Homo-oligomer: A and B are copies of this chain.
Amino acid sequence: MTKPAPLSAREFDDLFQSVCNWGRWGPDDERGTLNYITPERLRAAAGLVRSGRSVSMALPINKVAGPDNPHPAVHYMVQNYDVRSDLGEPQFCMDFLACEFHGDCHTHIDALCHIAYRGKLYNGKPVDQVTSRGPMLQDITAYAHGIVGRGVLLDIPRLRGVKWLEPGEAVTGEELEAAERAQGVRLGEGDIFVFRTGHHRRRLELGPWDNSYAGEGKPGLHSTAMQLLHERRVAAFFPDGDGETVPSNVEGVAYPVHALQIAAMGMACSDSLQFEELVPVCEQEQRWEFMVVAAPLRLPRGTGSLFNPIAIF
């Protein structure tokens, strides 16, 4: 692919405006692009279940510190079978989990309050609505009843004939359309866009790397691809990695994809999924569309949530 030119700050602001959904579903809307998933589309998604298989798109929860996991999950047994309940049989074992989940090793979904651009959240809400006690609005409970719809996988390494995209490589809207043509699918209104760069495949084969600005970076979308997602009225974004190209293609904006998707568009965005179990099923079924059901924990004032999104064929 030819490398697209970087955007200036001014071009980015124009792009932000052109994809902005503020006010589209009312001034206090918290569901954003999930509004595109009508009952009709949800029902149609269920109609995709034909072979009766379900596949997780989540990573195992990662407890090991590393270059891409500075905040490993903390997991301990609370009680084991060496301790007996006074009440007699049966006996129980229990555990405890703690996690700072906005990281590249934890499959999670972001609440709309997670991102601000120039002091504003989605729908133009001010950032002071998020305090040290948590967000007063746009928390993850806006997605409490789950994200249920049609998932469409666009597999960019498959299109390019490579195992994975290398850090820093960006995928444009044109390339997404090329993938659509190659796979015979088309992203449409209310769809859940499942975007594969091969990030996790690379990690499985080469080991973890520092994918931050201080390190090697990562592949992702080009900012301009958001125009396509906006036109197509995509409802949700489920990438491996987090969708960002690092370093960014926009001058002075470090995470342009987050800014556009979440702050401008109000899109339900998740991070750090994996599709290494999904891809073989798609290949066997020879289809890249399926029902998706993904349900964040009902965490009041949560800025996001660990979750385990499921593809159903």
Contacts and interface: CB of A to CB of B under 8 A. Distances in A.
Contacts of A304: 94-95
Given A93-B130, A115-B92, A145-B54, A75 B301 contact: yes
Given A82-B132, A90-B117, A128-B81, A61 B312 contact: no
A266 interface: no
Contact of A297 (B58, B116, B277): B58
Contacts of A59: 298
A51 B39 contact: yes
A308 interface: yes
Interface in A214-254: 252-254
Given A52-B38, A146-B54, A297-B306, A96 B75 contact: no
A162 interface: no
A111 to B, nearest CB: 9
Contacts of A206: none
Contacts of A100: 74, 78, 94-96
Interface string A274-295: 0001000000000000010111
Interface stretch (A19-27, A41-49, A153-161, A181-189): A41-49
Contacts of A293: 54, 146, 148, 293, 295, 310, 312
Contact of A42 (B54, B96, B128, B259): B54
B308 A146 contact: yes
Contacts of A82: 80, 82, 128, 131-132
A146 to B, nearest CB: 4
B145 A81 contact: no
A131 B39 contact: no
15 contacts: A46-B291, A56-B144, A59-B298, A60-B141, A65-B69, A74-B96, A77-B132, A80-B82, A90-B254, A97-B98, A97-B99, A98-B99, A107-B298, A148-B312, A297-B307
